[in-house]
């Protein structure tokens, strides 16, 4: 039989443990401070490349100056269209294949094919010329994908170009709640981490809410620029009660203490909610963009144009290179 003092000590220990657990749980809950929508932009269809049409939000007059992000395109490409030989300088591009196959080839000799779920990071640096074309070798008549442009820090704009590709099978998935899956292409989500490129990198997450009412809190580093693009279905963000429908880009607030965003699929919906959640650290620098050239001054824009036209300073291979992928659209 326990003595009175021993029993009291045990009761006190249990009480302390319960208090500690409750405090820890309260702290964990209070640590999730959601961002809220500050701007919503519908991605309008616009012609791009040769015969192609994309839905563009970031990079339009409605949504510029979202550092470090320069452009976001949702492309659906049919036969006889694509993005043949074109240059880049001063940015990274992230290409994510959703449907079909996309071929790529550049003037360094690099080439490959993206299939559904594959992602490619290309750092253009001082200069690259490449071709991006749909590949039709299966039972589909349309290729669908996303492309994001990310600005490079001023002191990295003239680095050597580089690539990184990830196959769908190599991308880990978080399953934080019933009916919620998150492909961690880059960044972090619920204990799953994806590689973030040290230059021109960002968090890039493919979120699926598979059932009505499914909800998840996704971490976003404080102070970073964050947004979501809805590929299908609709979603509610933060404490916003009004759902946002597909093809919209939602920019999030970035107030002190806000370290993520609550994402919910509305009740009563029949279409799966699929969206990209993307975040990156803003760059404190000028941004001057002329088409595929992204630099920090007008003088550097003119220099990039001259370098490309004359085959200098990173574009040495440009004058004599023609891609094999682009041949059908050139009429070769």
Q: What is the largest CA-CA distance in the chain?
A: 96
Per-residue exposure over 112-136, b if at least 16 CB sit within 10 Å of its own CB, e if not: ebbebbbbbbbbbbbbbbbbbbbbb
What letter would DSSP give residue 155? G
Annotated binding site for Fe cation: 86, 88, 130, 132
Evaluate whether 323 touches 85 at the Cβ level (below 8 Å).
yes
What letter would DSSP give residue 309? H
CA distances (Å), 292 to each of 70, 126, 149, 228, in order? 10, 12, 10, 24
Which residue in 126, 179, 180 sits closest to 152, CA to CA?
Answer: 126
Annotated binding site: 86, 88, 130, 132
Which residue in 179, 183, 182 sits closest to 212, CA to CA?
Answer: 179
């Amino acid at each position: 039989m326990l003595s009175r003092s021993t029993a009291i000590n045990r009761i006190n220990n249990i009480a302390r443990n319960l208090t500690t657990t409750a405090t820890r749980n309260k702290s964990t809950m209070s640590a999730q401070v959601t961002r809220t929508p500050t701007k919503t932009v519908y991605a309008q269809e616009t012609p791009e490349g040769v015969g192609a049409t994309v839905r563009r939000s970031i990079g339009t007059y409605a949504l510029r100056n979202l550092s470090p992000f320069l452009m976001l395109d949702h492309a659906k490409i049919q036969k006889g269209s694509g993005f043949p030989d074109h240059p880049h300088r001063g940015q990274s591009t992230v290409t994510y294949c959703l449907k079909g196959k996309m071929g790529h080839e550049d003037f360094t000799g690099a080439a490959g094919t993206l299939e559904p779920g594959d992602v490619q990071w290309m750092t253009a640096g001082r200069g690259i010329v490449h071709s991006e074309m749909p590949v039709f070798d299966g039972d589909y008549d349309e290729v669908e994908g996303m492309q994001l442009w990310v600005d490079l820090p001023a002191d990295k704009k003239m680095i050597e170009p580089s690539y990184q590709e990830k196959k769908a099978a190599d991308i880990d998935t978080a399953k934080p709640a019933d009916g919620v899956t998150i492909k961690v292409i880059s960044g972090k989500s619920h204990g799953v981490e994806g590689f973030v490129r040290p230059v021109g990198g960002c968090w890039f997450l493919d979120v699926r809410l598979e059932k009505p009412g499914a909800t998840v809190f996704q971490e976003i580093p404080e102070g970073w620029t964050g947004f979501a693009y809805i590929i299908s279905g609709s979603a509610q963000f933060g404490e916003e009660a009004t759902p946002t429908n597909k093809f919209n880009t939602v920019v999030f607030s970035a107030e002190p203490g806000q370290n993520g965003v609550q994402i919910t699929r509305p009740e009563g919906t029949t279409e799966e909610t699929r969206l990209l959640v993307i975040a990156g650290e803003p760059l404190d620098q000028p941004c001057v963009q002329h088409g595929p050239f992204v630099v920090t001054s007008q003088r550097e824009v003119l220099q990039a144009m001259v370098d490309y036209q004359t085959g200098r300073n990173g574009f040495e291979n440009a004058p004599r290179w023609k891609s094999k992928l682009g041949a059908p659209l050139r009429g070769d």
